[in-house]
Each structure stands twice: as C-alpha cells, then as structure tokens.
Amino acid sequence: MKIVFFGSPDFSVPSLVRLDNNNEIDIELVVTQPPRKKGRGQKLSSTPVGQKAKELDLDLLEIPDINSEEIKEQLEAIKADYFVVVAFGQIFTQEVLDIPKKAPINLHASLLPRYRGASPIHQAIINGDNKTGVTTMLISRELDQGDMLLQEELIIKDSDTVGKLHDKLAEIGADLLVKTLLEMEAGKIEPESQDDSLANYAPQLNKKDGLIDFDQPSHDVFNFIRGNNPWPGAYTFYQGKKLKVWKSEIVETDNNSTPGEIISVDLNRGLIVSTANGAINLAKVQLPGSKRMSARDFICGYQPEKGEILGK
C-alpha cells in the first residue's frame, strides 16, 4: 500500500521508523513542519521527523501550509492509499483529507473519546488516571472526533512522568499504527463512532500552567508535578524566585500548617511542604541559572527555613 506520512515532533518518529520497516507499506512522501531556529546559534534545524526522514533516505517536504494549491497538486499526483498523520501540527482542509484513495488516518495519544486535544498525556497524569493508551482513527474536520479504528491500553505507574509516558505511548502507538493499516487493508476493521457524552478536552498548555497549588491534596500535587515534567515544568516561588520542582514524594503526616508552608528542613527527610491534607517532599528542584538539585543540596546551598511560605 502507498502512504504519505505527516508528522513533526519526537512522538512521531517511532511511527515513521516502524512504517518504513514494514515490507507491505511504501512511504511515498514524508511531510513535516519547516525548519526552525534552535539553540544559542539560532541555526535552522529540521523537525525530528525531518531529520529521521533524511536518515532513512525518504522523500521529504518541509512546508508551512499543507493546504496550498501547489502542495495539494503534489499530494494528488502520488495517488496514495492512505494519509497517515502523527502529531503533524497543521490543520487539514476537507479538500486535502479527501485526496487519499482509501482514508486519512491519525494516531492520538489517549483512549478516545477521553482527552481530545493537544495535551492528553499531561492530563492523564495530572488527573490521576491509572491507565491511558493510544487510538487510531479516521480523520474528520472536527478535532479528534473521527471514527475510532483500534486502541491499545497502557497502565500509568506512579513513577511515570509526561516524558516517560510520552516515550512509551510513542512506541506502542507506532505498533498500533502498523497493525491498523494492515488490518484496514485486509478489511478487518469496522470503524466505531465516538460517544461524545464520554468526551473531554485536553487543551494546549503554556508555561504559566505549571504553577503548583499547595491548597490541593498531597496526591493531586504529586500528580501535578509529574504531569508537568519535563514541560511546561511545575514550579512555585521561593523568596520571590521561580523554583521548578522536578520530583516530589508524598509524606504521610498530620499537620495544621498553611498550605505551601515549609514544615521541615531535614538533610535526610528533605524539604517538606504542607498541602491541603498532609505534606509533600520537594525531592528535586531548580532555581533560575542553576542545575537541578536534590532537596539535600538545595537545603545545604540556600538554607530554607521552617515556616517560610512557598508560592510568594
């Protein structure tokens, strides 16, 4: 079967590789976002998908507008059976979605209809879900509302961060995508419409969304911190400076302290902060201009005091 692959970030790369490795699938073209300036030198750099496509010697288009007339003509000339989309980053017009002979297919990092939108991995962890997964679906003009094809579940561990879960879902999603194409081609899949009554939305996050609310229960704070790692990064304020929190541990304790108050400064136990129903150890933190450090190193270097209030 002939496909055109659309993708851009790291999440898309395992899918591209797995599809390229399958003898029954021919990738006629890879389409990705245009190169952007990165790093201190501000050099133009291709997306992760663009870089991998070059490594695999695949035909590549790096374009800002998938819906331009010129691009539509190129896509029509390929006569692809399927368009395969994995975190591409541009919205398709219906005219473009109608180009493939059989179907446009998308991989989404949640168990739809749960967590439609841009941040499904973050929200699954922040909300304390015990499982998530990936879904392949037909692409519709409405955001993540197309008919579902296949799903694969994955247990969320307490040790999972967004970064770790992202990588796991990228891998199982790649396998599911190949399986979906092969079973679609064999006529083994009956598309299933989504139940809109079960749907919720995972909006795009920005840096400000990482602010920790210590007025929440300890477990919610714990989930919030790992649900913002590595991006946008959970943070609070210490003596007016932004303090990023990369790792935390729930501390079982009874206290009546103000949420956000440092209730213990101990080289062995850590930096213990009060929450709505207990406390949490800020096990790994980072101040502006410094490296990530353990609670022990932070205590030794900055001498925080019991009774100080974080978040101000």
- Known binding-site positions: 110-113
Q: Are 284 and 295 in contact (CB under 8 A)?
A: yes
CA distance 34 to 279: 46
Binding region for (6S)-5,6,7,8-tetrahydrofolate: 110-113
- Cβ contacts of 237 within 8 Å, gap of 6 or more: 243, 310, 311, 312
**Helix runs in the chain, H state only:** 13-21, 48-55, 69-78, 94-97, 120-126, 162-185, 218-226, 295-302
CA distance 260 to 99: 55
CA distance 167 to 180: 20
User: Rounded to whole angstroms, what are the CA distances from 200 to 114, 121, 239?
Assistant: 5, 13, 37
